Amino acid sequence: MNANPSSSTRPEADFDVIVVGGGLGGLYTLYRMRELGLTARAFEAGSGLGGTWFWNRYPGCRCDVESLEYSYSFSPELEQEWHWPDRYGTQPQILEYIEHVADRLDLRKYVALNTRVLTATFDSATTLWTITTDKGDTVSAPYIVMATGNLSTPRVPDFPGLSRFQGESYHTGLWPHEGVDFTGKRVGIIGTGSSGVQSIPYLAEQAKHLHVFQRTANFILPARNAPMDPERERRHKATYRERRKAAYDTPFGIAGYPPPSKGALEATPEERDAAYTAKWGEGGSISFLYSFTDLLLDQQANDTAADFVRARIREVVKDSRTAELLCPTDHPIGTKRLILDTNYYETFNRDNVTLVDARNTPIECITPTGIRTSETSYQFDAIVFATGFDAMTGALREIDIRAGAGAEITSKWADGPHTYLGIMMAGFPNLFMVTGPQSPGVKSQMILAIEQHVNFIAGCLGHMQSEGFARIEADQEAEDRWVQYNDTVAQATLYPKANSWYMGANIPGKPRIFMPYVGGVHTYCQLCNDIVAKGYDGFTFSAI
């Protein structure tokens, strides 16, 4: 194998690198590994490439990061050639882009589709990872890269009676490829996160009647989606390189939003209103959070932004009881993922849409004909579960990952994830994660985070090749420090106040730990660069 010269002592492996996942992370990993001259094979459970963008085909599915940003940056030719039709890419547009990239880089032949990885086991004596799959494959490689995604384990709550429902049921994250026609049907949708909020206006247009079961109201801002402005595209493309570079120096990995210079409480009420109104008109979430410096740090400052949004909801929604139910009150704005909408609040002015308060009248069970709450029973032809994912740790914990006695991922993460940089775990040599927990992945422009991680991993492997190392492992002490540091950073913000999937709060019994790194992309990248400059501080290399 090419990975290092000293590996002649190792038994022959099938590949140099096993990649788990055929989404944006897996494809870029394949590309970089091949560039290093390594043999690599990716395994993807879906019947096509694209990961998140393959599975989430619900009506209205669209990215909440602008399309000129939400794309790979590694190829200047690719970014110049590609035309995004809309300000925010739709799921079909993004999938088309991913497939185009795969074809252009000739990556398809390295991906085994329809193949779910079930186990991954490390043999310390041979320094090899061996995976088994649901197709009966047994495949080995010295390195394994988990590009398994953060929101890739769809979850339906364990409602009593679930299996007895006689109508149609769908999860937004497992949407049928042929689409669903709800025309003339009585439809119930459970969940008002990003997936619910994006699909509800579309379902309402088709359904005879749509009941929306909302347990927690979320803060939702206008996307202001529009066809791509040719002048904007031209300007963006003319400065793409500078913008991509500048993105690494920002908190969320997206350039072009002037950072705020003053706190909300330093501004007058008029100044605050003018700032929020301008951002509301512009559309987008980062732009809104950039209104003032302290929105995620100070509750009082945050309240000013939250009040502004609640006032807009009351302006749009005509029925005052519905408007109040839609006003979020249980968490500071921005501490759960902000949602971008098109016509969400307006949808509640339709005669065929009813909001059900699933907080005060909780869902008790699914019946053969619909949903029963503590108050009443509803009859449905179809139920849509927009109930989210076992986020950040779910996909990794679904694979039985073992690296020796006591080193099983389920026990290691029993009280929440433990990683070093979100890239490796102590006790799991030669296993890398792309945007793992305790990295800024989900709190940043995801494709930038993917590229940064995979470049870091490729850098490690390049270093090992040139130094003749066969084994890399995160130090326990470095990992403990990183976990502690993540917690300290998060606790200094308002983020842990929300019952969010960032906290594991959407899964009953999941440990409540704030999982993403929220110190900002700029700080994280600097830390990674420093670690490399210090000879991969916190990692131990060895020849075998």
CB of 362 to ligand NAP, least distance (A): 7
Cα 81 to its chain centre, rounded Å, is 26
Under the binding rule (CB under 6 A), the answer on residue 198 touching ligand NAP is yes
Under the binding rule (CB under 6 A), the answer on residue 50 touching ligand NAP is no
Among residues 67, 140, 194, 342, which is the contact residue for ligand NAP, using CB under 6 A? Answer: 194
Among residues 41, 62, 412, 510, which is the contact residue for ligand NAP, using CB under 6 A? Answer: 62
Whole-angstrom distance, CA of residue 350 vs CA of residue 366: 26
Tokens read off for 51:
């990961």
Phi and psi at residue 221, in whole multiples of 5°?
A: -115, 155
Under the binding rule (CB under 6 A), the answer on residue 448 touching ligand NAP is no
Under the binding rule (CB under 6 A), the answer on residue 506 touching ligand NAP is yes
Cβ closest to ligand NAP, residue 70 vs residue 482: 70
Under the binding rule (CB under 6 A), the answer on residue 71 touching ligand NAP is no
Which among 165, 154, 155, 156 is positioned nearest to 372, based on CA atoms?
165
Most distant CA pair in the chain: distance in Å? 73
Under the binding rule (CB under 6 A), the answer on residue 225 touching ligand NAP is no
Cβ closest to ligand NAP, residue 52 vs residue 430: 52
Cβ closest to ligand NAP, residue 153 vs residue 419: 153
Residue 374 is which amino acid? S
* Residue 31 exposure: Cα atoms within 13 Å on the Cβ side: 21
What is the pattern of x (binds ligand NAP, CB under 6 A) and - over residues 18-37? --------------------
- Decide: 428 and 401 in contact? Cβ < 8 Å: yes
The Cα angle at residue 422 between residues 21 and 544, in degrees rounded to 5? 80
Cβ closest to ligand NAP, residue 501 vs residue 536: 501
Cβ closest to ligand NAP, residue 53 vs residue 276: 53
Among residues 272, 337, 412, 471, which is the contact residue for ligand NAP, using CB under 6 A? Answer: 337
Which among 120, 44, 88, 437 is positioned nearest to 52, based on CA atoms?
44
Residues 168-187 that bind ligand NAP (CB under 6 A): 172
CB of 170 to ligand NAP, least distance (A): 13
Q: Which stretch binds ligand NAP (CB under 6 A): 23-31, 59-67, 265-273, 452-460?
A: 59-67
Which is it for strands 400-402 and 209-214: parallel, antiparallel or unpaired? unpaired
- Decide: 336 and 218 in contact? Cβ < 8 Å: yes
Tell me the C-alpha to C-alpha distance, in Å, between residue 26 and each of 399, 434, 435: 16, 8, 11
Under the binding rule (CB under 6 A), the answer on residue 192 touching ligand NAP is yes
- Decide: 337 and 498 in contact? Cβ < 8 Å: no
Cβ closest to ligand NAP, residue 416 vs residue 504: 504
Which among 344, 524, 359 is positioned nearest to 435, based on CA atoms?
524
Among residues 326, 382, 386, 515, which is the contact residue for ligand NAP, using CB under 6 A? Answer: 386
Q: Which stretch binds ligand NAP (CB under 6 A): 177-185, 212-220, 225-233, 295-303?
A: 212-220
Residues 85-124 that bind ligand NAP (CB under 6 A): none
CB of 391 to ligand NAP, least distance (A): 7
Whole-angstrom distance, CA of residue 123 vs CA of residue 405: 11
Distance between the two ends of the chain, CA-based, in angstroms? 14
Among residues 501, 514, 536, 539, which is the contact residue for ligand NAP, using CB under 6 A? Answer: 501
* Residue indicated by tokens 């940056």: 73
Under the binding rule (CB under 6 A), the answer on residue 504 touching ligand NAP is no
Whole-angstrom distance, CA of residue 540 vs CA of residue 432: 14
Which contiguous run of DSSP H or E holds residue 532? helix 521-533
Within 10 A of 226 (CB to CB), how many other CB atoms are there?
11
Cβ closest to ligand NAP, residue 76 vs residue 362: 362
Cβ closest to ligand NAP, residue 464 vs residue 503: 503
Binding site for ligand NAP (CB under 6 A): 62-64, 151, 157, 172, 190-196, 198, 213, 215-216, 337, 358, 363, 386-389, 501, 506
